[in-house]
Structure formats: C-alpha cells, structure tokens
Amino acid sequence: MSDPHAAHILRTFKEAISILDQSEAPIRDLIETRLMDVAGVNRTKVSDAMLTRDELTKHVVAIRHQHIRAAFKHLRDNLPSDI
C-alpha cells in the first residue's frame, strides 16, 4: 500500500480483529472442559445439562465482552480521529 495513512488504518483494524480472534481458544477450551462432565453421560439430567449451558453462556459472554472492549479500545487508541 503506497499511502502510509491508509496502511496504518488497515493494520489497526487487522490488529483489532486479531484481538477478537484471540477469544476463540479460551471459549473452545471452556466449552470442552465444562461439557466433558455432562456430554455423553448416560442418564444425564436435563436440568444438569441446562445448568451447564447457562453457566457456559455467562462465561462465554464475559470472555467475548472482554475481547470486544479490548478491540474497540485498540481502535480508539490507534485510529486517527478524522476518520
């Protein structure tokens, strides 16, 4: 890219997307470990599965929220104010 201003903007957005992508591994690991106790177990109570789902949802939302905030902070801190 010949325009350094445009290159900086593009790089900043790529870095913000990378911050969001970093939430995938912790979420995947969380789901795998939490579901290991209830998935595939004979006679798993529906209430236990639903409780696990609710707990997972809370944790996933918190992880996503943290990464979304970090990505937007990165954009605010690194993008020029005139765009």
Contact residues for 15 (Cβ-Cβ < 8 A; gap 6+): 74, 78
In a domain, 83, yes or no: no
Number of domains in the chain: 1
Retrieve residue 65's tokens.
Answer: 């929220």
CA distance 64 to 17: 12
Contact 71, 16 (CB under 8 A): yes
Range of the domain at 56: 4-78
Closest CA to 59 of 38, 20, 30: 30
In a domain, 68, yes or no: yes
In a domain, 67, yes or no: yes
In a domain, 18, yes or no: yes
In a domain, 71, yes or no: yes
Retrieve residue 61's tokens.
Answer: 């939302």
pLDDT at 39 over 90: no
In a domain, 44, yes or no: yes
In a domain, 47, yes or no: yes
Main-chain phi, psi angles of 82, to 5 degrees:
-95, 10
Segment 51-78, tens digit of pLDDT: 888 999 999 999 999 999 999 999 999 9
